[in-house]
A and B are shown apart, each in its own frame.
Chain A
Amino acid sequence: MGKAMTMSKAEIIAEPGIPQIIMSREFAAPRELLFRAYTETELLKQWLGPRRLTMIVDEYDVRDGGRWRYIHRDTDGAEYGFHGVFHGTPSLEDGIVQTFEFEGMPGHVELGTVTFEQRGDKTIVRSNEVYQSVEDRDAAMESGMEGGVHEGNERLDELLARMRQ
């Protein structure tokens, strides 16, 4: 709302009954910069997650078998930890393949692939997330975000809850 420039919206495909989320988003930057923003800790923590969450990067070892862990801390001090491992060496050509586990739901692991396609002076970032079950997929966001839902979404949740009755 009232943004200085026109922002493109992410395309999100989440089919019912299939434990996967496919997302794509266009950025006005060369893919080398996108790759840096995804792999350099100092850059990553400047954009990943909503503004109300502070991101603390515990480790981010961007290489085959390298471990990563970060924490989202909300304004009430509640912390949401996430960790996983990189599979294969992240690169511009092959993208980034990593496992992802929310520490509030141990043992439920998602496999994510992010690729960077240069198209003229823009880059299309594609993300493919595969979960162990549909329940895991749907629960990942619910549990990971419950600490600080926007007012607008609280109202929407109330609306949805009333509609389910």
Chain B
Amino acid sequence: MPTDQLTPVFSALADPTRRAILARLMDGEANVNELSAPFAMSQPAISRHLKVLEQAGLISRSRRATARLSHLEAQPLREATAWLVRYREYWDESFERLDSLLANLQDDPAG
């Protein structure tokens, strides 16, 4: 599982709104109007989330008449297996704590 492929997937999945959009798309394709309905968020904001999901390969978009429909793409999610999501979460949070600790140590070398 090459990192290059997974990094945008994990970044895309890190956001709760985007996870909710994916969950909605599991019930079938939808346009931006339908996707923004559950959120207190403008359509342009939802469109930006859709763009991130599309760039990560998690959704694809097509036009039907005037509506632009989003579809879920399953493969990248299958590759981002649960254990690796947890591994990343464990280390990303640890390393963020380490960033803070290092900043404090450099202010006060005695630690």
Contacts and interface: CB of A to CB of B under 8 A. Distances in A.
Interface of A: 1, 3, 5, 7, 9-16, 21, 23, 25, 27-29, 33-34, 36-37, 40, 42-43, 46-51, 138-142, 145, 149-150, 152-153, 155-157, 159-160, 162-164
B13 A29 contact: no
B30 to A, nearest CB: 16
B26 interface: yes
Interface of B: 1-3, 6-7, 11, 13-16, 19, 22-23, 26, 74, 77-78, 81-103, 105-106, 111
Contact of A47 (B89, B101, B106): B101
Contacts of B85: 153, 156
B16 to A, nearest CB: 6
Given A13-B3, A163-B78, A51 B84 contact: no
B93 to A, nearest CB: 5
Given A12-B3, A37-B102, A138-B83, A50 B89 contact: yes
Contacts of B103: 28-29
Contacts of B26: 159, 162-163
B94 A48 contact: yes
Given A29-B102, A155-B19, A159-B26, A142 B96 contact: no
Contacts of A140: 83
